[in-house]
């Protein structure tokens, strides 16, 4: 189906919210690349700060953890080390992301929703991911590679979806790869409190997936799901 590009503000975000989609892509033999704009060293590493570690130690810790999670999922990972809390939007960072689009030529892009009143880094990452996509599409944009096509963009599920204007309009069946998602989550002991939370969420999204799929598909009670929201219209020749 082509490559998958995941733009993640912090080291753990891609695991909680999109590990199923990543594992599905790589299990099909598709390339998946995770672009982590930061390590989440200041905003999403509270346990390591409480343990008295230094900033550099925490960045290295999160790099090792996220790399292990990506490996479990069969994905490539690249860190831009742009600094979090706050993640600042700069033309240089947008350009670096645009160059990754040109190199990966993704068929599908996953990133954060553009609203999150609890975490300003997430919308900042989303805005830059969207801006870079548009730049990479321009024939005259000064970066190596061919102009990008129009890969669909899906927002992955934020931690508090209702406050982020997140309305699931895609429920992805991740049952065959859920074990890999759980293993990837367990690569992130710095955020161990999230493991059960996101296992429970996958179970609830699985229940909704079965309900929306209808009885004819006969999906099992053990179905696990991930929710996504499309940014751009679906393009199709038939309504289904």
Q: Which residues lie near Zn ion (CB under 5 A)?
A: 9-10, 13
**Backbone φ and ψ of 120, nearest 5°:** -75, -20
Report the nearest approach of Zn ion to the CB of residue 13 (Å).
4
C-beta of 13 vs 65, nearer to Zn ion = 13
The Cα 26–Cα 32 span in angstroms is 6
Q: Return the number of other C-beta atoms located less than 10 Å from residue 152's C-beta.
A: 17
Report the nearest approach of Zn ion to the CB of residue 126 (Å).
11
The owner of tokens 């240089």 is: 92
C-beta of 124 vs 143, nearer to Zn ion = 124
List of residues 6+ apart from 240 with CB closer than 8 A: none
Helices (H), 9-154: 13-27, 46-50, 55-73, 91-104, 121-137
Report the nearest approach of Zn ion to the CB of residue 45 (Å).
11
Report the nearest approach of Zn ion to the CB of residue 119 (Å).
6
Q: In what order do the strands lie in the sheet with 153-156?
A: 76-79, 32-36, 3-8, 106-111, 153-156, 225-230, 170-173
C-beta of 49 vs 147, nearer to Zn ion = 49
The Cα 200–Cα 103 span in angstroms is 36
Report the nearest approach of Zn ion to the CB of residue 137 (Å).
26
C-beta of 65 vs 173, nearer to Zn ion = 65
- With CB atoms as reference, the residue minimizing the distance to Zn ion is 10
Report the nearest approach of Zn ion to the CB of residue 214 (Å).
35
C-beta of 61 vs 143, nearer to Zn ion = 61
- Where b means 16+ CB within 10 Å and e means fewer, 53-92 reads beeeebbebbbebbbbbbebbbbbbebeebbbeebeeeee
List of residues 6+ apart from 59 with CB closer than 8 A: 39, 41, 81
C-beta of 10 vs 102, nearer to Zn ion = 10
């Amino acid at each position: 189906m082509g490559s998958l590009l995941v733009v993640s503000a912090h080291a753990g975000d891609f695991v909680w919210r999109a590990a199923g989609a990543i594992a599905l892509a790589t299990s099909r033999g598709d390339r998946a690349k995770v672009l982590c704009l930061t390590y989440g060293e200041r905003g999403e590493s509270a346990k390591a700060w409480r343990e008295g570690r230094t900033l550099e130690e925490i960045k290295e810790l999160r790099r090792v953890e996220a790399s292990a999670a990506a490996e479990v999922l069969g994905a490539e990972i690249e860190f831009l080390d742009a600094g979090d809390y706050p993640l600042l939007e700069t033309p240089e960072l947008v350009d670096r992301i645009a160059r990754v689009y040109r190199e990966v030529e993704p068929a599908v892009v996953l990133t954060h929703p553009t609203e999150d009143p609890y975490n300003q880094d997430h919308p900042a990452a989303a805005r830059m991911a969207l801006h870079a996509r548009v730049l990479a599409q321009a024939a005259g944009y000064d970066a190596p590679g061919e102009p990008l096509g129009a890969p669909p963009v899906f927002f992955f599920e934020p931690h508090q979806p209702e406050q982020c204007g997140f309305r699931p309009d895609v429920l992805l069946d991740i049952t065959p790869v859920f074990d890999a998602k759980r293993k990837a989550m367990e690569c992130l002991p710095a955020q161990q409190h999230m493991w059960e939370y996101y296992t429970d969420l996958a179970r609830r999204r699985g229940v909704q997936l079965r309900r929306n799929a209808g009885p004819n598909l006969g999906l099992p009670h053990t179905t696990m799901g991930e929710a996504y929201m499309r940014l751009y219209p679906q393009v199709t020749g038939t309504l289904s």
